[in-house]
Amino acid sequence: MNKEHATRDPEKKRSKHEIHAVITGETSRDAVIRLLADEMASFGMVDASYGESVLERERSYPTGVPTEPVAVAIPHSERIQVSKTGIGVAVLTNSAKFASMDAPENLLDVKVVFMLAISSDDGHLDIIQDIMGIIQDRHVVDSLLTAGTPGKIEEIMHRELTARENKR
């Protein structure tokens, strides 16, 4: 698996959620999910089994969303496997096929994956609402696609989440 990790800058404004990003050339849905789960596990956000749990859930409840300018996916799984609430973000240099949540028979060419790790009911709806706002903002999605580094992706996500958190 090829991926690029972020270099974290503690001086940057951070949202209340932990965010870890990768840029990858993976084209397999399963490989992208495992890559993100491994990245999140390496920071103690989720258990090592989280990726397989997400894949199992994805088979029954697909998470592809047909947004513009590109389709995105928002995979997640059970809270019991989550230690810290946060988001893993993968920007794909190629697309990966994810089934659409609205019409599972349709496969979408996904370019951005937001893997959610939510440790409790607190803020569950807020984080989902925040991500939905982000994916509907064409400018933000374009910024993520052209960010160029995992650190820049994390910076964009922290900025966008912080702005939404401050509006509540």
Range 109-118 average pLDDT: 96
Q: Which of 143, 146, 153, 87 is nearest to 115 (CA)?
A: 87
Pairing of strands 107-117, 18-24: unpaired
Specify the pLDDT at position 167.
Answer: 85
Residue 64's beta-bridge partner residues?
Answer: 73, 100
- Residue 69: both structure tokens together: 């300018």
| pLDDT over 80 at 11, yes or no | no
pLDDT of res. 133: 94
Instruction: Look at residue 5 and tell me if it is in a domain.
Output: no
Domain count across the chain: 1
Phi, psi values for residue 135, rounded to 5°: -70, -20
- The pLDDT score that the predictor gives to residue 9 is 46
**Residue 123 structure tokens:** 């803020």
Q: Is the distance from CB of 44 to CB of 84 less than 8 angstroms? A: yes
- Has residue 43 been placed in a domain? yes
Q: Evaluate whether residue 80 is within a structural domain.
A: yes
Q: Kindly state the average pLDDT of the residues 35-41.
A: 96
Answer whether residue 8 is part of any domain.
no
pTM check: above 0.85: yes
pLDDT tens, position by position, 12-37: 456 677 999 999 999 999 999 999 99
What pLDDT score does 14 carry?
66
Task: Report the pLDDT value the prediction gives residue 78, as an integer from 0 to 100.
Answer: 80
Contact 75, 53 (CB under 8 A): no
Does residue 1 fall inside a structural domain?
Answer: no
In the chain, where does DSSP find H-type helix?
A: 29-42, 50-60, 124-135, 138-145, 150-167
Cα separation, 8 vs 149, whole angstroms: 11
Q: Could you tell me the two tokens for 48?
A: 């090592």
6 belongs to a structural domain: no
Q: What is the mean pLDDT of residues 138-154?
A: 96
Show the domain range for 128. 15-167
Q: What is the CATH number of the domain that holds 139?
A: 3.40.930.10
Amino acid at 1: M
pLDDT over 70, % of the chain: 89
Using DSSP's 3-state secondary structure scheme, residue 113 falls into strand
Look at residues 3, 83, 76, 100 and name the one whose alpha carbon lies nearest to residue 41: 83
